[in-house]
């Protein structure tokens, strides 16, 4: 909200000299954050009030041009100026910028020759003086404007405007009245309530005005109508009012509209003016009936919702309460008899209506934050009195008041509650004084305060609200700093530690972490080649996505990584290894709607479950992509190309993650999308419940690579980190191995197997065979040191060469013992995989 300082000073007596910067700091310090201080009008110099003495119409130009003789009063005060506007006459008083004058925006006026005449200054419009409005018209001043006087001072153009960021709880501060009151409390200086100012003596006069009633007291509990007749719609808005409206960020429309806006800004009470002649029958405040429509001021015909609060007459809805008036009853340039409405509507009701129709307005902003329910009688009286006075009409003294009872809420709290919240000692006297200053009625009784907040503070409902009033006016700087308490925390969970560990492991392996786009396009799922029943097709949809083309939440991290890869490639980085740890979301079958639980008590177990049941699956995944060279190019390659990343690097990345988890897992070949069916490793965890697939790694399917326009042979891996975290959390602490101090015995074996036999199975068989033999010769390590295919082994076969390391716990092994253990290992490999010992 824009707040001119001059307006505030009308109601707060601040000590001189007034320092705008200090006022801003003070207001910010009590919770009215000043986001900007605009020192307006101070640049205006040498603009004075002049009278038009004569007008010479120049001809022969594209538009009418006047050469005017003007005087600023006194001898030798006549000048001749060129003017392109025609809305003034001889005898009018106008603002005149003299040669050497400066106008808003630093625009300087000099003596100039235009249209063949010497122009000795410029007659100004409101726009040229920084008040906006119609540029084509000269600002014609009242006849009593003093000739020769400094115009900026006369019109009050020099001011300081504060931009106040009013938080949603402080509806009262959406008015000069509210800000002035806060300022007076902060400075401890007197405050004059504008709600008491300018009231006509007939304010309480009896007698009905235009008939009205409230049909739905949950929609409205105060509704006041007053009438004024015979106003002259062409009367201008008085200069000071106009300047204030503009400084507060509003546009001048017409006297009647300006008055209602002015009072809304000053008091915080939105007002609405109806053209009396357009009303038919008594007014009723009610919710809309099904099927009712209303054409609002913005010429939009709106279907009303049965929850909408509307003002109706016998013709039906004529206004959307507190939001926007109807077109049919709008006041026009011909309206002379007005009915002024001032009401107190349901805050949530107005919030819903304005939201439903996307009609945020100055009025709705105030109603939804809460308006002083004692204002309608006063604000309407002042409006009618001002319209009568300034518009030359007659105020009808009576008023219509439809009202539902309002019970002022009271809050009971311990007198030391603010002390206990702040950790500071204010004392009961200070607490009572501050609350009283805010406008509360406070009754103290044996350490307990019964507090009745004022009608303008509907936000004060709880003891903590009252504590905040005390604390903020006493100053947040009074709050001390206590040493943190000693708390028994258990550190990170196993899952949290694992997550850092795998991140560091992948970074150590040369992968760079990215935060991928969490949103996705349905087409991405097609590009991945996912089958219809694939889990990753069960994407959660946003009702209001940022981009309509990306309405889904991601179900896999891969497309986001592809995007990051493409972006890096576009910036000249072709060799990439990226990874991400992030959540995805997948709908579950038959998900119920999440209920809105009560908030006046904690939910029971069943209610918590009902919320959990409504949420989609949200596993945490870890994924990586590789493209280009795995190792950077360097001089050591002696002209050879650097080694490209391939599926084995992707598989190794997955192994890096799994090894960091400490889990024992199996690897086998897999065939799911989006991987190359012959170059995809599947990682499997075997536990009591059977086998769980943890994820996949390998080269991407050529079609996927093409669909995402990636470099050939791009590789990727994706694992379910939630599953890994859960399984790893069940592992106990690492148990130390028994270290034998006896000599090692190594045996190399070369095994011939079918070309399609996975090496992992051969190795597993060797390990199992050695273990099953129960020999003292324990197989300490198996290392595959050669894989050979070719002539020497024949077609369809391959040779796998292993080094087996045997050792005994208690002695040096004999050759016979080692040989027997080796034979047992090989025999099991032969049995399970058809391996044949080569060279035997």
Partner 1 sequence: MSAPNNSYDPVRVAALAPDEVDRMTAEALAAIAAAADFDELKQARLAHQGGRAPITLASAEIGALPPEARAEAGRRISAAKRAIAEALTARQADLEAERDRRVLIDEVADVTLPWNRYPAGARHPVTTLAERISDVFIGMGYEIAEGPEVEAEWYDFDALNFPPDHPAREMQDSFWIGRPDGAGRSGLVLRTHTSPVQVRSMLTRPLPLYVVSPGKCFRTDELDATHSPVFHQIEGLAVDEGLTMADLRGAISTFVAAMFGEGLRTRLRPDFFPFTEPSADVSMECHVCRGASTEPGAPPCRVCRSQGWIEIGGCGMVNPRVLIACGIDPDRYSGFAFGMGIERTLMIRHGVTDIRDTLEGDVRFTAAFGVEA
- Binding to partner 1, residues 512-531 (CB under 8 A): 512-519
How far is residue 155's CA from residue 169's CA, in Å, rounded to a whole number?
A: 35
Least Cβ distance, residue 574 to partner 1 (angstroms): 11
Q: Which of residues 802-831 bind partner 1 (CB under 8 A)?
A: none
Q: How far is CA 41 from CA 6, 45, 151, 197, 645, in A?
A: 13, 9, 11, 28, 67
Least Cβ distance, residue 547 to partner 1 (angstroms): 10
Q: What angle do CA 376, 378, 383 make, to 5 degrees?
A: 95
Q: Which of residues 366-405 bind partner 1 (CB under 8 A)?
A: 368-369
Least Cβ distance, residue 722 to partner 1 (angstroms): 11
Q: Which of residues 707-766 bind partner 1 (CB under 8 A)?
A: none
Is residue 559 within 8 A of residue 520, CB to CB? The reply is yes
One-letter-per-residue 3-state SS of 355-382? HHCCCCCHHHHHHHHCCCCCHHHHHHHH
- In the complex with partner 1, the residue whose CB is nearer, 466 or 762, is 466
Of positions 111, 205, 614, 787, contacts partner 1 by CB under 8 A: 614
How far is residue 696's CA from residue 358's CA, in Å, rounded to a whole number?
A: 48
Using the contact rule CB under 8 A, the part of the chain among 10-18, 117-125, 364-372, 758-766 near partner 1 is: 364-372
Least Cβ distance, residue 551 to partner 1 (angstroms): 8
- In the complex with partner 1, the residue whose CB is nearer, 121 or 439, is 439
Q: What angle do CA 234, 238, 243 make, to 5 degrees?
A: 120
Is residue 137 within 8 A of residue 256, CB to CB? The reply is no
Backbone φ and ψ for 776, nearest 5 degrees, come out as -65, -20
User: What character string, x for contact with partner 1 (CB under 8 A) and - otherwise, covers 335-354?
Assistant: ------------xxx-xx--
Least Cβ distance, residue 5 to partner 1 (angstroms): 21
**What are the tokens at 331?**
């006041």
How far is residue 798's CA from residue 836's CA, in Å, rounded to a whole number?
A: 11
Using the contact rule CB under 8 A, the part of the chain among 388-396, 440-448, 520-528, 631-639 near partner 1 is: 631-639
Least Cβ distance, residue 230 to partner 1 (angstroms): 40
Least Cβ distance, residue 560 to partner 1 (angstroms): 8
Is residue 361 within 8 A of residue 250, CB to CB? The reply is no
Least Cβ distance, residue 787 to partner 1 (angstroms): 23
- In the complex with partner 1, the residue whose CB is nearer, 30 or 825, is 30
Closest CA to 651 of 509, 445, 450: 509
Helix, strand or coil, per DSSP, at residue 540: coil
Least Cβ distance, residue 840 to partner 1 (angstroms): 40
Least Cβ distance, residue 354 to partner 1 (angstroms): 10
Using the contact rule CB under 8 A, the part of the chain among 379-387, 511-519, 660-668, 799-807 near partner 1 is: 511-519
**Helix 255-267 with 176-187: angle, nearest 10 deg:** 30
- In the complex with partner 1, the residue whose CB is nearer, 69 or 414, is 414
Of positions 34, 318, 422, 717, contacts partner 1 by CB under 8 A: 422
Q: Which of residues 125-184 bind partner 1 (CB under 8 A)?
A: 167-170
Least Cβ distance, residue 586 to partner 1 (angstroms): 10
- In the complex with partner 1, the residue whose CB is nearer, 170 or 713, is 170
- In the complex with partner 1, the residue whose CB is nearer, 104 or 545, is 545
- In the complex with partner 1, the residue whose CB is nearer, 42 or 492, is 492
One-letter-per-residue 3-state SS of 135-148? CCCCCCECCCCCCC
- In the complex with partner 1, the residue whose CB is nearer, 146 or 168, is 168
Q: Count other C-beta atoms under 10 Å from residue 510's C-beta.
A: 15
Is residue 386 within 8 A of residue 378, CB to CB? The reply is no
How far is residue 184's CA from residue 182's CA, in Å, rounded to a whole number?
A: 5
- In the complex with partner 1, the residue whose CB is nearer, 464 or 669, is 464
- In the complex with partner 1, the residue whose CB is nearer, 352 or 703, is 352
How far is residue 136's CA from residue 546's CA, in Å, rounded to a whole number?
A: 42
Least Cβ distance, residue 618 to partner 1 (angstroms): 5
Least Cβ distance, residue 704 to partner 1 (angstroms): 19
Q: Which of residues 16-55 bind partner 1 (CB under 8 A)?
A: 28-31, 33
Q: Which of residues 553-612 bind partner 1 (CB under 8 A)?
A: 553, 561, 563-565, 567-568, 571, 573, 575-578, 581-583, 585, 587, 591, 593-603, 608, 611
- In the complex with partner 1, the residue whose CB is nearer, 590 or 741, is 590
How far is residue 461's CA from residue 321's CA, in Å, rounded to a whole number?
A: 25
Tell me whether residue 588 is exposed, middle or buried, using C-beta atoms within 10 angstroms of its C-beta: 0 to 12, 13 to 18, 19 or more: exposed
Least Cβ distance, residue 463 to partner 1 (angstroms): 8
Least Cβ distance, residue 809 to partner 1 (angstroms): 37
Least Cβ distance, residue 364 to partner 1 (angstroms): 9
Q: Which of residues 235-274 bind partner 1 (CB under 8 A)?
A: none
Half-sphere exposure of 563 (CA within 13 A, CB side): 16
Least Cβ distance, residue 473 to partner 1 (angstroms): 10
One-letter-per-residue 3-state SS of 567-632? HHHHCCCCCEEEEEEEECCECCCCCCCCCCCCCCCCCCHHHHHHHHHHCCECCEEEEEEEECECCC
Q: Which of residues 269-308 bind partner 1 (CB under 8 A)?
A: none
Q: Which of residues 529-548 bind partner 1 (CB under 8 A)?
A: 540-546
Q: Which of residues 490-509 bind partner 1 (CB under 8 A)?
A: 490-493, 496, 500, 503-504, 506-509
Closest CA to 371 of 413, 337, 343, 338: 343
With CB under 8 A as the rule, give the number of residues binding partner 1: 115
User: What character string, x for contact with partner 1 (CB under 8 A) and - otherwise, covers 446-485?
Assistant: ----------------xxxx-xx--xx---xx-xxxxxxx
According to DSSP, the β-strands at 512-513 and 576-583 are parallel
- In the complex with partner 1, the residue whose CB is nearer, 595 or 790, is 595
- In the complex with partner 1, the residue whose CB is nearer, 69 or 352, is 352
Using the contact rule CB under 8 A, the part of the chain among 234-242, 396-404, 628-636, 780-788 near partner 1 is: 628-636
**What are the tokens at 9?**
């000073």
Confirm or reject binding of residue 487 to partner 1 (CB under 8 A): yes
- In the complex with partner 1, the residue whose CB is nearer, 165 or 666, is 165
- In the complex with partner 1, the residue whose CB is nearer, 312 or 364, is 364
b/e per residue, 227-252, with b = 16+ CB within 10 A? Answer: bbeebebeeebbbebbbbbbbbebeb
Element (H, E) at 651: helix 647-661
- In the complex with partner 1, the residue whose CB is nearer, 167 or 814, is 167
**What are the tokens at 178?**
């509210």
Is residue 458 within 8 A of residue 375, CB to CB? The reply is no
């Amino acid at each position: 909200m824009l707040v001119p300082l001059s307006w505030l000073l009308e109601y707060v007596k601040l000590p001189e000299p007034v320092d705008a910067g200090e006022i801003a700091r003070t207001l910010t310090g009590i919770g009215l954050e000043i986001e900007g201080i605009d020192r307006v009008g101070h640049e205006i110099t040498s603009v004075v009030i002049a009278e038009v003495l004569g007008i010479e119409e120049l001809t022969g130009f594209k538009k009418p041009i006047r050469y005017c003789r003007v005087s600023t009063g006194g001898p030798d005060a006549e000048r001749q100026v060129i003017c392109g506007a025609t809305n003034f006459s001889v005898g009018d008083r106008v603002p005149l910028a003299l040669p050497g004058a400066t106008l808003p925006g630093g625009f300087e006026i000099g003596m100039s020759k235009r249209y063949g005449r010497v122009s000795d200054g410029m007659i100004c419009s409101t726009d040229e003086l920084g008040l906006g409005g119609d540029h084509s018209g000269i600002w014609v001043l009242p006849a009593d404007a003093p000739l020769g006087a400094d115009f900026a001072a006369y019109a009050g153009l020099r001011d300081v405007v504060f931009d106040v960021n009013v938080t949603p709880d402080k509806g009262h501060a959406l008015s000069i009245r509210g800000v002035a009151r806060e300022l007076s409390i902060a400075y401890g200086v007197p405050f004059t309530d504008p709600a008491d100012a300018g009231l006509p003596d007939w304010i309480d006069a009896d007698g009905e005005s235009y008939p009205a009633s409230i049909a739905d007291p949950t929609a409205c509990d105060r509704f006041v109508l007053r009438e004024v007749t015979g106003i002259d719609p062409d009367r201008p808005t008085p200069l000071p009012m106009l300047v204030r409206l503009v400084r507060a960020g509003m546009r001048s429309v017409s006297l009647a509209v300006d008055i209602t806006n002015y009072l809304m800004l000053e008091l915080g009470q939105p007002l609405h003016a109806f053209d009396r002649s357009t009303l038919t029958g008594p007014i009723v405040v009610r919710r809309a009936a099904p099927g009712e429509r209303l054409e609002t001021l913005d010429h939009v015909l709106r279907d009303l919702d049965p929850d909408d609060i509307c003002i109706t007459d016998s013709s039906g809805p004529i206004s959307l309460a507190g939001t926007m008036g109807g077109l049919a009853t709008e006041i026009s340039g011909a309206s002379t008899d007005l009915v002024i409405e001032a009401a107190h509507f349901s805050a949530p009701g107005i919030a819903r209506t304005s939201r439903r129709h996307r009609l945020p307005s100055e009025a709705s902003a105030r109603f939804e934050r809460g308006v002083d329910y004692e204002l309608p009688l006063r604000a309407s009286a002042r409006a009618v009195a001002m319209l009568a006075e300034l518009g030359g009409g007659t105020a009808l003294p009576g008023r219509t008041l439809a009202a539902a009872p309002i019970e002022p809420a009271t809050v009971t709290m311990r007198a030391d509650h603010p002390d206990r919240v702040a950790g500071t000692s204010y004392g009961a006297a200070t607490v009572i004084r501050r609350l009283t200053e805010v406008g509360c009625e406070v009754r103290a009784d044996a350490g307990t305060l019964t507090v009745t907040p004022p009608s303008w503070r509907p936000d004060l409902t709880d003891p903590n609200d009252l504590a905040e009033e005390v604390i903020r006016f006493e100053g947040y700087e009074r709050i001390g700093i206590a040493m943190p308490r000693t708390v028994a925390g258990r550190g990170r969970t196993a899952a949290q530690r694992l997550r850092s560990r795998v991140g560091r492991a992948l970074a150590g392996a040369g992968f760079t972490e990215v935060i991928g786009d969490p949103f996705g396009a349905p087409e991405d799922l097609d590009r991945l080649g996912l089958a219809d029943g694939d889990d990753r097709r069960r994407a959660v949809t946003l009702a209001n996505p940022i981009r309509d083309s990306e309405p889904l939440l991601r179900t896999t991290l891969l497309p986001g990584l592809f995007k990051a890869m493409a972006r890096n490639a576009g910036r000249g980085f072709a060799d990439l290894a990226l990874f991400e740890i992030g959540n995805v979301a997948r709908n579950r079958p038959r998900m119920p709607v999440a209920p809105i639980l009560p908030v006046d008590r904690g939910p029971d177990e069943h209610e918590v479950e009902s919320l959990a049941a409504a949420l989609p699956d949200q596993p945490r995944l870890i994924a990586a992509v590789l493209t280009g060279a795995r190792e950077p190019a360097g001089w050591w390659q002696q002209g050879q190309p650097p080694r490209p990343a391939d599926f084995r690097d992707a598989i190794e990345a997955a192994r890096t993650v799994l090894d960091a988890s400490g889990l024992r897992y199996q690897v086998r070949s897999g065939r799911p999308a989006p991987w190359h069916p012959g170059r995809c490793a599947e990682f499997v965890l075997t536990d009591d419940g059977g086998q769980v697939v943890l994820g996949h790694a390998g080269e991407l399917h050529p079609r996927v690579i093409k669909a995402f326009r990636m470099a050939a042979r791009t590789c990727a891996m994706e694992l379910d980190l939630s599953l890994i975290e859960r399984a790893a959390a069940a592992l106990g602490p690492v148990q130390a191995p028994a270290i034998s101090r006896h000599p090692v015995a190594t045996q190399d074996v070369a095994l011939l197997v079918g070309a399609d036999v996975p090496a992992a199975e051969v190795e597993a068989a060797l390990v199992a065979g050695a273990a099953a033999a129960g020999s003292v010769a324990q197989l300490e390590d198996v290392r595959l040191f050669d894989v050979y295919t070719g002539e020497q082994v024949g077609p369809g076969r391959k040779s796998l060469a292993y080094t087996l390391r045997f050792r005994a716990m208690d002695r040096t092994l004999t050759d016979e013992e080692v040989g027997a253990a080796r034979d047992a290992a090989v025999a099991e490999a032969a049995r399970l995989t058809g391996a044949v010992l080569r060279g035997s």
